[in-house]
Amino acid sequence: MFATPLQAEGSFVLVGTFVLLLLAGSTGYWVYLDGVNRGIDRAPWWGLGVLCLLLLGVVPGLVALGVYLSRR
């Protein structure tokens, strides 16, 4: 007689994790492509660094992105 929910209990965490990975990955990829287009020789390292720091936390990731934007 009871209606079952359409979503599981942990789906919010799963969707949040997916969104975090998508945003961090796309930002790291954008930094990489921007660095390659500008001729920066360490573009893969900048992209990877921004990606990893965004996965560690929003504040370190934004600081790394700000440093990249100021250095380019």
**40 lies in a domain?**
yes
**9 lies in a domain?**
no
- Domains in the chain, number: 1
Max mean pLDDT among 2-6, 12-16, 36-40 falls in 36-40
Buried b (16+ CB within 10 A) or exposed e, 44-63: eebbebbbebbeeeeeebee
What radius of gyration do the chain's Cα atoms show?
17
**56 lies in a domain?**
yes
What average pLDDT does range 2-21 have in this prediction?
Answer: 75
Residue 60, token pair as written in the block:
């370190």
**32 lies in a domain?**
yes
Q: Amino acid identity of 9?
A: E
pLDDT of 2: 60
**6 lies in a domain?**
no
| Whether residue 8 has pLDDT greater than 70 | no
Residue 62, token pair as written in the block:
């934004």
**13 lies in a domain?**
no
Q: What percent of the chain has pLDDT over 70?
A: 86
Give the Å distances, CA to CA, from 58 to 2, 25, 52.
Answer: 41, 13, 11
